[in-house]
Structure 1
Amino acid sequence: MQKDDQRADHIENTPADPASVLSPDTLVVCDELRLRMVEKIPNLAELLVSARRASDFEHQMKLLESFKLYPKAVLFSMIISIAIVMEGYDLTLIASFFGYPTFREKFGVRLADGSYQVTPHWQSGLQNGAQVGEILGLVFAGLLADRFGYKMTLLGALVMIICTIFVLFFAQNIGMLFAGEVLCGLPWGAFQTLTTTYAAEVSPIALRSYLTTYVNLCWGIGSIIATGVLRSLLRRSDEWAWRIPYAIQWFWPVLVIIGVSFAPESPWWLIRKGRLDEAKRSLRSLTSHRRSSSDLDDTISFMVVTNEHEKFVNDGVSYWDCFKGVDRRRTEVVCVVWMVQVLCGVSFSTNIAYFMEQAGLPATTAFDFGVGLVGLGLTGTVCFWFVMQYVGRRTLYVWGLAIMLTILLIVGFLGIPAAGDTSIAYASGALLLVFVFVYGITVGPACYSLVSELPSTRLRIKSVVIARNCYNIVGIAGNFLQAAILNRLAWNLRGKGAFIWCIFCGISFVWTYFRLPEPTGRSSAELDLLFEQKIPARKFSKIKVDPF
């Protein structure tokens, strides 16, 4: 009650004229745009005062208070994000299967020494098949979600994944396995965009980075489950050694379908559709009973003003509109941010089981390293939640890339001596574990927060779709490159392959330093203004902003 009284006093004492509290160096909406909005929205002044109250209150909310006021938003976002567990699980399966004896015997070719290998072309094909499906799934998900909403699109994708898993489970040859990966990629594409954007749209500023980066944690959870399942079945010599891991995937869709069925629709999506009453009911379903009706009205006013402002800047909501005007820069940033997840060289470390086996270590030891790698990745994401309270996402990106670049250089030099030295193999493996931890505490989770925060609210889904597809396209090229680097039937570079990834990691570092802005603590309306005024990336965190 004391907090509610304090908030009531704050609202009562909020000036009706926002300009009366502005300092001379505060960034505000230009007069021309504000005049145009007044002509079209007669009650704009009233909406601005209400929106300002909501914005001020949200900025003042601390983390614990946000959890108390938005408990159901946290719950539903976390349940929906579990859908990403399936993608992390399967992609880790297929990458680890290349070092899996029973899988290689079933789908590989016999070499002169009597061992089996999946050919480089099929290694790339299987990994890229899922990403090709994801590219198509992302495009359709963006269109369907804009028209039918998050809930209906997610439910359709979950039903589809239940059906497509049958193709993987009953695969008789590598071609059928490839087809199954492509088909599974279609719903995974929907999960990739909708889980992140839903988390961003149902949470306040204080929770936004936690719920969006939780998506990355879910990917890591799927990865560690896959690695643990494969490690437990490693001694099996029959076909169930690889069929059981695929069958386990049927568990996740059922769990998520139940959660999605009870989840409210995104209030931002309802605002974009002009369904204000439904948006308020949705917001009520996401918050605790402590929030008053007037409080919810203020939040709805904030959403309306932000949406109308963005409509005046760029009225369109098509994919093409992401490349027009102010939104062109925002699209560039989110695309490259996600591409950096590949370009930093993380695929060189995530193939650690195959890397260690090619270095001469036994399969059991190689898979033990794989388990450790995924565990460190998860630990890094949890640590990120504590670190980001003190360090911005831009800073984490810059320093993370610098450290990963250094590690790749060391691994590259360790790979120069001839193969066969197990001490060098262990040292390289240990460094790759450190690499994954650094990735897990910086670039890995920070990416999900950045790509969901930086686009405009009206183009958020479409921007995330484009960005994720850029990631998938670069990932396809990276898979071809990585397969050629390690496979004994191709370049067989072993540790020296790290030098190749150093080039891309270095380019990513330079771009990040000059082009990546800092969105920490900024509302959607504030970010709109910073991009509209073309503020340089390195000054984003230093500019005072008042969009109301």
Structure 2
Amino acid sequence: MSFWDAVKADRRLIMYTIGFSGTIIMEGYGLATMGNLLGIYNFKKMFGNPVVGPEAFKVPPHLQTLFGLMPQFGALLGIALTPLITDKLGYKKTVLLMVLLSAALATITFVATNVPVLLTGYFLQGIPWGLFQVVSPTYASEIASIQLRPILTTWNNLCWVIGQFLAAAVIVGFFDNMTDMSFRIPFAVQWIFAFVLLVVIFFAPESPYWYLKKNRIPEARKAITKLVRKGNAGLAEEKLALMRHTLEQESKQDDGDTVKGIRKYTGLVNNRVDARRTEIACVTWAIQALCGSSLLGWTIIFLNSTGMARDLLFKVNLAGPTAGLFGTIASWWLMQYVGRRAIYLWGCIAMCALLVGCGFSSFEEDKNKRGLIAGAILAAITLVYDLTLGPICYSIVSEVPSVRRRAATVSAARGMYLVVNLSNYWLTPLMANYPDNGGWGWGPKAGFYHAGWCILGAIYTYFRIPETNNLSARGMDILFQNKTSARKFSPQKAAELESSQAVTSAFRRTSSGDTGDKAVARVVEKP
């Protein structure tokens, strides 16, 4: 099938995946709102300290750091709980429960009048947000066809960008409001997200893989029938057979290759193959966290550190999410012609070049010009990031794990991202703020720091991250089980290895009494 044939055939599948991915819009909006509110006068008056100067109030860097860290701590807890909760309840029930919880917890931030209550609300909201980060790409990867899988997994990044854009737009809308509603209504918008998501996800089916892992074949068949083209019972049976075959082969691999010294753990790493896959997923997401993306969430603070006029500050801030929208959509077109691995590699290189340019912009003497240059480069960084590392990371991380341990592996990878990102939430406010506000005064010079990480990321990508384009879950299993080099991953290589394994299996049966022709025939005919 061509890409457009797949779109026409899988319209319902696309709709259900978009519903699950909508939870990332809620998360992206919530996290971006925190950074944007630091420029709102009444927010600074309520939660900051009085200072001498035109701003009158400022939120000190240590509180800026806490505002960023608390939801990350909550997300780590949510990520740790994800494999346990989804294993018991499934993806659908888990997400519905967490959407309700997130809406209820938004009430805490809405009514907060002091820093402890606000931090408590941020921490608790981070718990469902962490779960959304894992379930959304996992669900998309499990139900999508090969043609749509890169689009539906990277759609999660676009949802993140949409959330950031909406946060920036809402803040601009209430920028001139001189009451507490200027920062309380942005929190309340999350209730609207929750209502829409509950309606959409309610009608979505559970992942068939989850039913199969529970040996609930009839429910799996019913879920698959709801996902494929209406009335195509044959296609539903084919999908069911392939899913069952993939799980059976992964189960056999688990039984035959247990890592010495590591007890069997059904959630994450059971053998050397899973260890490699988990490593790739974790480092891939760590690269995304260290490539300079953390600067984008603090654009207002960075532009403020350049001395840009306040009336331009929030308008220029809208350029970043806008560039991100175009970048993510363009990545869908790019992935039709270029593999994930190549995009990730060149994304690291391009980000490095732009971050170096961001660093050099700090040497411009004119304040407004310096701010505009830095803002333009940050917008370009957003465009490149959302064209390459931002969306492609979701695709790689959700495709690399085995089916049996996908939720646990994605949880571990996202946990690694958040742990690495903790350093960003501590360092970024210090880099962005002036020394008189407790910062280091680096401003755009922080680009030099992240450029170094991009170089290391490019080296790792070249040697360790495989190409996952056009590979089925079974093809991925074959390549990893045969310890194929990351630079040699392809559907053709998987087919060669599977063919050689089939012949070897046939000869083994011959030695135990079968005639060669009959044994080979049975292997070849097996779907």
Partner of 2:468: 519
- Structure 2 gap segments, 5+ residues each: 256-262, 499-526
* CA distance in 1 between partners of 2:253 and 2:266 (Å): 16
Q: CA deviation at 1:69?
A: 2.4
Structure 1 residues 372 and 191 mapped into 2: Cα distance closer, same or farther (>3 Å)?
A: same
Query: Deviation string for 1:33-88 (max 9, x for gaps)?
Result: xxxxxxxxxxxxxxxxxxxxxxxxxxxx2212212322211111111211111111
Query: Deviation string for 1:483-526 (max 9, x for gaps)?
Result: 11011221011122211112222211211111111000000000
Structure 1 position 443 matched with structure 2 position 392: no
Partner of 1:347: 294
Structure 1 position 371 matched with structure 2 position 371: no
Query: Deviation string for 1:168-214 (max 9, x for gaps)?
Result: 00011112111101100111111111111111111110011111111
Residues 362-401 of structure 1 mapped to structure 2, 5 A cutoff: 362-401=309-348
Query: Deviation string for 1:247-305 (max 9, x for gaps)?
Result: 111001111111222111111111111111211111001122252x3332221111111
* CA distance in 2 between partners of 1:414 and 1:252 (Å): 38
Residue 338 of structure 2 aligns with an amino acid whose one-letter code is V
Structure 1 position 453 matched with structure 2 position 385: no
- Structure 1 gap segments, 5+ residues each: 1-60
Structure 1 residues 425 and 232 mapped into 2: Cα distance closer, same or farther (>3 Å)?
A: same
Normalising by structure 1, we get a TM-score of 0.86
C-alpha contact (below 8 Å) 1:100/1:363 kept by paired residues: no
Partner of 1:304: 244
Which runs of 4 or more aligned residues in structure 1 lie more than 3 Å from their structure 2 counterparts after TM superposition?
315-321
Structure 1 residues 100 and 381 mapped into 2: Cα distance closer, same or farther (>3 Å)?
A: same
Structure 1 residues 274 and 320 mapped into 2: Cα distance closer, same or farther (>3 Å)?
A: closer
C-alpha contact (below 8 Å) 1:397/1:443 kept by paired residues: yes
Partner of 1:151: 92
1:111 to 51, 55, 63: 51
C-alpha contact (below 8 Å) 1:350/1:373 kept by paired residues: no
Residues 188-199 of structure 1 mapped to structure 2, 5 A cutoff: 188-199=129-140
Partner of 2:146: 205
Structure 1 position 324 matched with structure 2 position 263: no
Query: Deviation string for 1:93-127 (max 9, x for gaps)?
Result: 10112222221121111223363221111111111
Partner of 2:13: 73
C-alpha contact (below 8 Å) 1:265/1:282 kept by paired residues: yes
Residue 410 of structure 1 aligns with an amino acid whose one-letter code is G
SS, match of residue 146 in structure 1: helix
Partner of 1:48: none
SS, match of residue 354 in structure 2: helix
Residue 173 of structure 2 aligns with an amino acid whose one-letter code is S
Residue 220 of structure 1 aligns with an amino acid whose one-letter code is V
Partner of 1:361: 308
Residue 104 of structure 1 aligns with an amino acid whose one-letter code is K
Normalising by structure 2, we get a TM-score of 0.89
Structure 1 residues 79 and 287 mapped into 2: Cα distance closer, same or farther (>3 Å)?
A: same
Partner of 2:260: none
Q: CA deviation at 1:543?
A: 4.7
* CA distance in 2 between partners of 1:289 and 1:543 (Å): 32
Structure 1 residues 88 and 426 mapped into 2: Cα distance closer, same or farther (>3 Å)?
A: same
Residue 444 of structure 1 aligns with an amino acid whose one-letter code is G
Residue 370 of structure 1 aligns with an amino acid whose one-letter code is N
C-alpha contact (below 8 Å) 1:317/1:458 kept by paired residues: no
Aligned-residue Cα RMSD (Å) equals: 1.6
Q: Which has the higher contact order (CA 8 A, sep 6+)?
A: 1
Structure 1 position 256 matched with structure 2 position 162: no
Paired residues in the alignment total 486
C-alpha contact (below 8 Å) 2:281/2:400 kept by paired residues: yes
Partner of 2:70: 129
1:285 to 211, 222, 226: 226
Structure 1 residues 160 and 128 mapped into 2: Cα distance closer, same or farther (>3 Å)?
A: same
Structure 1 position 537 matched with structure 2 position 486: yes
Residue 523 of structure 1 aligns with an amino acid whose one-letter code is S
Partner of 1:177: 118
Structure 1 residues 323 and 317 mapped into 2: Cα distance closer, same or farther (>3 Å)?
A: closer
C-alpha contact (below 8 Å) 2:463/2:486 kept by paired residues: yes
Query: Deviation string for 1:307-359 (max 9, x for gaps)?
Result: 01111112698476426321001001111111111110111233222211221
* CA distance in 2 between partners of 1:366 and 1:386 (Å): 32
SS, match of residue 361 in structure 1: coil
